[in-house]
Structure 1
Amino acid sequence: MSGNKKQDLKSAAYDIFSKKGYKAAGISEIAKQAGVATGSFYNYYDSKEAIFLDIYIEENNRVRQAMIDEIDWEEAPAEVIGQIFGRARSFVSSNKILTEWYNPAISGELHSYYASEKGKSDYPFHQFLVETFTNRMQAEGYPPEKIQEVLQVYQLFYYMDTHITEKDFPNVSQTIERLATYFVKGFFK
């Protein structure tokens, strides 16, 4: 163990959540694997939700960084959108932690964090997309009000992603992808 109990708890939680998923993982199991008394868990985290959110944010940032590194950002806009959604699908579907985005037992917590101002401002992938899209449109000579319109549409996509679940609207992510693709094709004609 590292001697840093919070880090030990996070490592143990990451391992257990990765294997078992959110629902089947328990605080006592996490504490035991971390070599920490179950009661001491609460010195570091208020709940299983709290430690899961911590793990989810780190894992999501790690995976999104891998996406940023893999995507060819110079492609035509519709191709870039296809790459973003395609990579997200393959990275998320193979990741037991990130698939919890769709699990009603925890998705409310995750969605409300990412919908919050803190969640948005601390989300490197979100910041990267806004910057990349803005810089690209500026380089292509779009006037500021057109750029604002596109960013407003992007904010709507972000809002839909953090507020609409599969339960509310079946196939929501495929539908958002279709909408984004058609919007970009129409806008950048």
Structure 2
Amino acid sequence: MARKQQEKSQQTKHELMAAANELFGRKGYMETTVAEITKHAGYAKGSFYRHWVSKDKLFLEIVEDKLTSYRNSRDDRLERAETLEEVMHIIWDFLENIVSDRNWAKVFLEFTVYAARIPELREDLSLSQYRLSEDVFADLVRGYIETDYPPEKIGAFNTVLFEGFMVQSALETGIVNFKDIREAAVTLALTNGLKKA
């Protein structure tokens, strides 16, 4: 009996997360309410609060799930990489997967700006499972750098270029495309990280 209840609880949680994900993508984070999420999923508000204390915590769990999925795909490929150029393209394929979910990219940016004003959320969002970390990117390229160029700089440039692109994309300026950003990041890494022939 307990197992069936646990399975039902997991099913409810999954359906609430799916409803929230859809509504966040359509309406944005701030405009979506807990009441709308529960109604869309076909549950009472109490079902929501059995799983999360707030919409913020639900959102963080969705972010973690999405990034974990993206990272798993990336990590499988990284195990086979042999050069800095391969690693950089794998990193940027990973980032392109995030960007390709256009609505989600905008919602994540919206949430990031919102969380920046709330110390507890800002602290949560700084945890590695919720963000793209320049330290992680630095670690990914570290073993492939042939010069004394700091891998932390490559990691930071990847993050800055990607996050800047996310803002530019959300504003729909269309001035710079993803291919341009990717090319700049790869060129910078190869120019500074490989010994000159």
Q: Same fold (TM over 0.5)?
A: yes
| CA–CA separation in structure 1 for the residues paired with 2:126 and 2:177 | 21
The aligned counterpart of 1:54 is 61
The aligned counterpart of 2:128 is 122
User: Once superposed, what is the RMSD of the aligned Cα atoms?
Assistant: 3.9
Give unpaired runs (5+ residues) of structure 1: none
Residues 133, 86 of structure 1: alpha-carbon distance in 2 compared, 3 angstrom cutoff: closer
Verify the 8 A CA contact 1:12 1:34 in the aligned structure 2. yes
Matched, 1:101 2:105: yes
Aligned length: 175
Following TM superposition, by how much is the alpha carbon of 1:152 offset from its aligned partner in structure 2, in angstroms? 2.2
Verify the 8 A CA contact 1:5 1:36 in the aligned structure 2. no
Residues 62, 11 of structure 1: alpha-carbon distance in 2 compared, 3 angstrom cutoff: same
Residues 65, 161 of structure 1: alpha-carbon distance in 2 compared, 3 angstrom cutoff: same
Following TM superposition, by how much is the alpha carbon of 1:119 offset from its aligned partner in structure 2, in angstroms? 3.6
| CA–CA separation in structure 2 for the residues paired with 1:10 and 1:162 | 30
Verify the 8 A CA contact 1:10 1:51 in the aligned structure 2. no
The aligned counterpart of 2:140 is 132
Verify the 8 A CA contact 2:70 2:94 in the aligned structure 1. no
The aligned counterpart of 2:156 is 155
Return the letter of the residue paired with 1:13.
L
Following TM superposition, by how much is the alpha carbon of 1:175 offset from its aligned partner in structure 2, in angstroms? 3.4
| CA–CA separation in structure 2 for the residues paired with 1:109 and 1:61 | 18
CA deviation vs aligned residue, 1:121-153 (integer Å, no higher than 9, x gap): 42387454332322333xx4x44xx22xx4124
Matched, 1:89 2:96: yes
Match of 1:66 among 57, 66, 73: 73
Q: State TM-score, norm by structure 2.
A: 0.63
Matched, 1:14 2:17: yes
Verify the 8 A CA contact 1:64 1:125 in the aligned structure 2. no
**Secondary structure, aligned partner of 2:144:** helix
Matched-pair identity in % = 17
| CA–CA separation in structure 1 for the residues paired with 2:180 and 2:106 | 15
CA deviation vs aligned residue, 1:93-145 (integer Å, no higher than 9, x gap): 2x5xx741134xx522146769x5654542387454332322333xx4x44xx
Verify the 8 A CA contact 2:154 2:189 in the aligned structure 1. no
| CA–CA separation in structure 2 for the residues paired with 1:32 and 1:5 | 18
Following TM superposition, by how much is the alpha carbon of 1:69 offset from its aligned partner in structure 2, in angstroms? 0.6
Match of 1:182 among 182, 187, 191: 187
The aligned counterpart of 1:45 is 53
